[in-house]
Structure 1
Amino acid sequence: MKYPLTLLSVLLTSLCSFAAEKPNILYINIDDLGWADVSINGSKYYETPNIDRLAKEGMIFTNGYSSAANCAPSRACAISGQSTPRHGVYTVKNSDRGKSSTRKLIPTKNTLHLKQDNLTFGHALKAAGYTTATMGKWHVTKDPLKNGFDINVGGTAAGGPYNGGYHSPFKYPNLEVKEKGHYLTDVLTDKAIEFIGEHKAGPFCLYLPYFTVHSPLQAKPELVKKYKNKKATEAQNNPVYAAMIESLDQNIGRVLDALESNGITDNTLVIFTSDNGGVNVSSLQWPLRGGKGMYYEGGIREPFFIRWPEKIKAGSSCDTPVSNLDFYPTFCDVAGTSAPKGKILDGLSLNPLFEGKVLAERSLFWHFPIYLQGYGKADSPGMKEAQDTLFRIRPGSAIRHGDWKLIEYFENGEFELYNLKQDVGEKNNLAKKHPEKLQELYSKLNNWRKELNAPVPTEKNSKFEG
């Protein structure tokens, strides 16, 4: 059928307007970047002017969390929109980490990957007309192209940049560089900029999970030299790590510039966060306690910034506790779509917060029925902040409700209770001083575990030596 030129113009204009109504989505997920590893959160050693700019141009979430303290479960939660008991990904590889003689319980067995029928936010956005791409560390299945994404650059089941490291030559899916002299973070950004230019008509969802700053610590020599000559602090003094952060920041600037040069800054929702706390043998998270693998604040509180000029007022801040479980429902909300039929989402859309409204009162939960061994020397400052010097974490659960946080340990039934408003460093355990608050939070935590049928290990380990 042939349409009159004027009618055809109206149809095309309508289609373009429909596409423009749906914001582009750019979800930047850094690997192992701690809350204290950006200058906007107080670092005097690391330099992150572009990340700071992104934060200042949008909304800073002062109580933004990951849903787990290490990479595989955190990413599985964000990508599936579900808490760890629903998908069973609790750690990387096996759950009986550390020496058997020091483990009192037989931990819950770990699930390595998300199941194929656990539909991701990629599936939801594809159904809403989005082009979906992931570029970088995928980690939660073998092939993201089977999990709702149209384009995959670099994503495999691997948890780090192990196929060549950060300096070329390296080889990943759709990301092979044979000649020397190229840096992985730069190359991923090249691909992201290329994608943005090709899909600027939108709508698109670009999931950009950089490998950096995950080990192995490898940086550009000229930047390492710069930080060797810069005054360090007691908490932050690794020049290679600092150089990796600066390279990351430079590339965040390049991505933001690409949005601007393509004229799509205003209609692009940008999320910047990390998958878990910083590795505190490389970078202590003071004033927060702990780091990656620990369920103290240093292991789960993240740099958490969201920019969307069309909707979020620049320079705004939000103290509401939120987590990366909220991204999936947020994406569906702003895209004007719903989660796939039958899909359970454990988070809430953050869209009301963008508008200055409030969310319904809720608790945030963490569940970790597994062991995660210590790292570094037992007497290092980082391991001194753990529950004990043998493990970063022993089996347990945690809840944050309001200003209060409760951690329960399954081995011995012990509790730690903190008022984060008064004691963000979690130095004063108030479990004995406030038994009524402990019982209130424990009831909420226990009811949540029952609702999700969360496994709680009880079988004794016969090899435990006490």
Structure 2
Amino acid sequence: MKKLSLIILSLLLISLVRAQNTKPNIVIIYVDDLGYGDLSSYGATEVQTPNVDKLAKGGVMFTDGHCSAATCTPSRYSLLTGRYAFRKDAAVLPGDAPLLISTGRPTLPGMLKQNGYRTAVIGKWHLGLGNGNVDWNGKVAPGPFEIGFDYSYLIPSTGDRVPSVMLENHHVVGLDPEDPIEINYKKKVGTDPTGIENPELLRYPSDQFHGKTIVNGVSRIGYMSGGNAARFKDETVPYQMLHKARTFIDDNQDQPFFLYFAFHDIHVPRLPDARFLGITSMGVRGDAIVQMDYITGELVKHLDKRGLSDNTIIVFSSDNGPVLDDGYSDEAVDLQGKHQPAGPYRGNKYSAYEAGTRVPTIVYWPGTIEAKESDALVTQTDLYASFAELIGHELAATEAPDSEAMWSTFTGQSDKGRDFLLEESVTLSLRHGHYKYIHPTNKKAAWIKEEKNIEAGTSTEPQLFDLSSDVGEQVNIAAKNKKLVKMMQAEIARIKNNEVTR
């Protein structure tokens, strides 16, 4: 009876939105490398995040919310397509990679645009651009425009990779045509100093992989020459993003809009603005968390200022679990102190263990959804179908094939989460209730421990954990639960062999 009442309530809410013909604005605030334990609302004590905490206290705060993968590019792909990234064989992309999302594939922004929304992406992209031979001095396409966005203001890949410029729509911002950009990921171009050759010029040391062209005192992945007037200053990028987001909101406040606001914080290189330096005892990683919280607060305040908050859904989450040393020696490890970036969970970014994908997940819609904490098992992959459900868009047979409509769960009206939830890393893992299964693999993952000091979580044998009594995934119970292991293996096989899951 209670379940029926929740379903009726959810249907009434959806009907009310449609009847009023006032589609809600949608803002996804997507943080980079933010762990489950990195917010004070999720248990952090060494850093305070009052602005995000306000969202958590006023919305639905999920304790079992997941991105789709333990690394950024796959998670972003699944978020925007409602499709598992392994189907595209997606991995972390180099800075000169072609556009990962096919221009003919349905996307979340494309679906919303089809239904009357203005759409924008602002911040880190890292989903590839062009067709494999980008001319950074001309029109950079295809890109966000070609997959459903009306406006874009981007870090083309990520901050630790060249080109270290901002891309607005199809063109590099502030480029001097007399100083053209050249990018090469295989050999040095130009005469710019590199971290490998000139470590004395660095603000902090890097590993060899991140030791190429120096921009803003930090060496990056890949070689770059030219474009000096266009090169960004890491410290100002969050403010530039905020300014562009405010402008987009102002320009589109009289119609429904979708804003995908993708932070670069707290990804490396961590270079927070001077006003945040030293604000925590955790060094630049902690300071970057506070900076992220501030920018989030300013974005929410702008919605309030424009009178849009009551008609705006905010989803706050992260693209993967936390990482401390990810190529730069910025004292994040030395100054960690008592802080636990992954909270009580095992693993980090890159890992098949739970902390690889269990991330802060908050849905906030003041005046419409009630504040609560939910332990429902949810994934970002389901946002596509859930927003389609809300606005009355009927998904085509091959649209968002791995996305399930879970709107009543995302708004806290139902406590029912996913029956099965896939987690992608070096291997595939599966959640079912409180059980966590990690599929065996022979893929080489030693680099994760050797280079990142992170447990990969992989094995050539099946792994099964009971998270209700073993939240730290310490006791492998696979040998004693062969029937359950077989069922979990069969479900992974079904998912892999059947793209259309609805």
CA drift of 1:36 comes to 1.1
In the alignment, is residue 426 of structure 1 matched against residue 425 of structure 2?
no
1:271 and 1:304 in contact (8 A); partners too: yes
Distance 1:258 1:398, change over 3 A: same
- Counterpart position of 2:45: 44
Structure 2 distance, partners of 1:243, 1:176, is 28
CA drift of 1:61 comes to 1.0
In the alignment, is residue 366 of structure 1 matched against residue 418 of structure 2?
no
1:311 and 1:355 in contact (8 A); partners too: no
1:134 and 1:209 in contact (8 A); partners too: yes
In the alignment, is residue 81 of structure 1 matched against residue 82 of structure 2?
yes
Q: Any residues of structure 2 matched to 1:140-179 within 5 Å, and which?
A: 140-142=127-129, 143-156=143-156, 158-160=157-159, 162=161, 171-173=166-168, 176=173
In the alignment, is residue 285 of structure 1 matched against residue 342 of structure 2?
yes
CA drift of 1:164 comes to 7.9
- Counterpart position of 1:258: 302
Structure 2 distance, partners of 1:361, 1:66, is 13
CA drift of 1:225 comes to 2.4
Show CA shifts across 1:10-38 (max 9, x none). Answer: xxxxxx99886200000111111111111
- Counterpart position of 1:346: 402
Q: Which amino acid aligns with 2:241?
A: L
Q: Any residues of structure 2 matched to 1:7-406 within 5 Å, and which?
A: 21-93=22-94, 113-142=100-129, 143-156=143-156, 158-160=157-159, 162=161, 171-173=166-168, 176=173, 183-227=236-280, 230=281, 238-281=282-325, 282=332, 284-314=341-371, 316-339=372-395, 342-353=398-409, 354=411, 356-359=413-416, 362-368=419-425, 393=426, 396-406=427-437
SS in 2 for 1:27: strand
CA drift of 1:434 comes to 2.7
SS in 1 for 2:44: coil
SS in 2 for 1:189: helix
Structure 1 distance, partners of 2:342, 2:18, is 45
Show CA shifts across 1:123-142 (max 9, x none). Answer: 10111000001101122241
1:365 and 1:399 in contact (8 A); partners too: yes
2:153 and 2:166 in contact (8 A); partners too: no
- Which range moves more in the overlay, 282-291 or 137-146? 282-291
SS in 2 for 1:432: helix
Structure 2 distance, partners of 1:68, 1:299, is 7
CA drift of 1:205 comes to 0.4
Structure 2 distance, partners of 1:254, 1:63, is 27
SS in 2 for 1:89: coil
SS in 2 for 1:36: coil
CA drift of 1:48 comes to 0.7
- Counterpart position of 1:441: 488
Distance 1:361 1:150, change over 3 A: closer
2:18 and 2:392 in contact (8 A); partners too: no
CA drift of 1:223 comes to 2.4
Structure 2 distance, partners of 1:413, 1:220, is 45
Q: State, as a whole percentage, how many aligned pairs show the same letter.
A: 29
Structure 2 distance, partners of 1:419, 1:30, is 29
Distance 1:120 1:438, change over 3 A: same
**So what's the TM-score if we normalise by structure 2?**
0.70
Structure 1 distance, partners of 2:44, 2:417, is 33
SS in 2 for 1:409: coil
Structure 1 distance, partners of 2:377, 2:149, is 29
Distance 1:249 1:148, change over 3 A: same
Structure 2 distance, partners of 1:276, 1:182, is 23
Q: Which amino acid aligns with 2:305?
A: S
Distance 1:59 1:360, change over 3 A: closer
Q: Which amino acid aligns with 2:243?
A: D
Distance 1:65 1:211, change over 3 A: same
Q: Which amino acid aligns with 1:334?
A: L
**So what's the TM-score if we normalise by structure 1?**
0.76
CA drift of 1:224 comes to 2.3
